[in-house]
Amino acid sequence: MANDTCIRLQADIEQIKSCREKLKANSKSFLQLGQVLALAGNEVRLKILFLLEEENELCPCDLSDILGMSIPAVSQHLRKLKDGNIIEARKEGQTIFYSLRNEHLKVLKPFFKIINQQNLATV
Amino acid sequence: MANDTCIRLQADIEQIKSCREKLKANSKSFLQLGQVLALAGNEVRLKILFLLEEENELCPCDLSDILGMSIPAVSQHLRKLKDGNIIEARKEGQTIFYSLRNEHLKVLKPFFKIINQQNLATV
DNA sequence: TTTGTATTTAAGTATTTGCTTAAATAAGTA
DNA sequence: TACTTATTTAAGCAAATACTTAAATACAAA
């Protein structure tokens, strides 16, 4: 970053200082929330999360069928969600059922609400 | 996708069909919400959005100073947010003030709430 | 114990992302 | 008019992303 030649003449020094402090005080939140949003900010994964909310649990095979995409592709999305502690796995014979974890539901719930509201709005 | 050899024997055909219909009915929501979440799912942009909520409006120069990153880098994030209709610009002399648009506040508000709640929790 | 089913993992690849530096606009000021 | 100042734009590049195909793993049934 060499191009740092911009401290505005009219800049409010106090405001800038206060903003920096706010960022610092919430740095953990930005990191954590940012990671969750990055995961949800992919259309395929957003659909997976929505489906898990609706159906309680689903396996990679069914998700592949529902989403119309290959099983490895689905599996790799599931792994990311699992690594992010957003979903968890339950094994039953040779099929593995994925479901939402409670931990991040606080963040996700509003999304599902918005999706369902918009659906109502268009009917 | 050649590897489509997985329709589970125990698969619930009705469930799969129902899921496909839910996705179809909400396809516009998934696209729109996905785009907003993809934008918010970047730590720098999440911080920018939070700061705009807190301060009402900020210019690229101040944001660069607050975030500790180059002006072009900030400017490019702002452009993405503007292209996504999440923020808008107001010109005053040679400085440009960015602020949140109302349109997507419904999605963003819960994030700000979560950030502030977590901050309280750690104090 | 061989065969089939469900899933993951690994390697390869095209695309996207987020920065960098340098140049271009645009608007004030000397 | 020339000279800052604030911002954007463009080009280049390293890293991340999201898929593909092929191989590996794990379990169940014949």
pLDDT tens by residue, A13-45: 999 999 999 999 999 999 999 999 999 999 999
Q: What is the pTM of this model?
A: 0.92
Give me the amino acid identity at B73.
A
- For residue B104, give both structure tokens: 């997507």
Of chain B, the end-to-end C-alpha distance in Å amounts to 51
Q: Say how many C-beta atoms besides its own lie within 10 A of residue A102's C-beta.
A: 7
Within 13-72 of chain B, which residues have Cβ less than 7 Å from strand C? Answer: 38, 42, 44, 69-70, 72
Per DSSP (E only), the strands in chain A are 87-92, 95-100
Report phi then psi at A22, rounded to 5: -60, -40
Q: What is the distance in angstroms between the Cα of B70 and the nearest Cα belonging to chain A?
A: 5
Q: Are B71 and B61 in contact (CB under 8 A)?
A: yes
48-107 in A: which are within 8 Å (CB) of B? 50-51, 54-55, 58-59, 61-62, 64-67, 69-73, 95, 106-107
**What distance in Å separates the CA atoms of residue B47 and residue B37, rounded to the nearest whole number?**
14
Interface pTM, i.e. ipTM: 0.92
Distance of CA B41 to the CA centre of its chain: 6
Checking if the pLDDT of A118 tops 60, the result is yes
Q: How far apart are CA A39 and CA A76, in angstroms?
A: 12
Q: Report phi then psi at A41, rounded to 5.
A: -85, 25
Mean pLDDT for the stretch of residues A92-113 = 94
Taking only the tens place, the pLDDT of each residue in B19-58 is 999 999 999 999 999 999 999 999 999 999 999 999 999 9
Q: Which amino acid is present at B34?
A: G
